[in-house]
Structure 1
């Protein structure tokens, strides 16, 4: 395996590990677990109008989501920006308890905090073209 393929695989593992923890928090309706995936000063823009800064805003946003909400995702692109900073373009699909699916595009920027410890510093969701964004994920 070439060195660049090996490095890309490491990036994939990092993004997957963080997003799997985020997914676990969403699926189990544990807003604090979701917020723990973010830096203390994270810039967060979900499906609601506006944005928040920090874990508290992330936790409040996910606390408003219905119990039974789940998410699955597909990582489309990963880009290293500088050392210890990764960007990823992701397609998440949220499923409401009634089975309604909400599809989005998501851009995340992850910062390395310590060895093998990465957190989301920037989270930006956008609706698909022609789609009305719901007030609850």
Structure 2
């Protein structure tokens, strides 16, 4: 999982939506900041195209697991930020599936962390 998140972070920080979409399976389920669950690479690409350029992500992997040779996943803390001071902390959970010989994200879910707690 850490190598997938390294590729995800590099693509996110570089504002490369096509590369981001390629990290996901064709049938991926995606729950970002919006209220809707998105499905598939095209939806993931559209989501990341809408993210303003200049946003960055700091990722701390908290836990990983594997289920056999084809499924893995884990949890991370992610802080998204921008030069203007905007910041959002989230918990990220991923389910990965081996797809065409490489790990891809099958399920992506962020849960915003309220800093007021």
Q: Does TM, scored on the shorter chain, surpass 0.5?
A: yes
| 4+ runs deviating over 3 angstroms | none
Question: Are residues 1:65 and 2:44 paired?
Answer: no
CA distance in 1, matches of 2:23, 2:112: 22
**Which structure has greater strand proportion?**
2
Aligned to 2:109: 124
CA distance in 1, matches of 2:84, 2:36: 26
Unaligned runs of 5+ residues in structure 1 are: 1-14, 132-137
1:47–1:125 Cα contact (<8 Å) kept: yes
TM-score (norm 2): 0.92
Residue in structure 1 matching 2:32, options 19, 29, 46: 46
Would you say how many aligned residue pairs link Structure 1 and Structure 2?
A: 116
Unaligned runs of 5+ residues in structure 2 are: none
CA distance in 1, matches of 2:2, 2:64: 11
TM-score (norm 1): 0.79
CA RMSD, 1 decimal? 1.4
- Pairs within 5 Å for 1:1-137: 15-115=1-101, 117-129=102-114
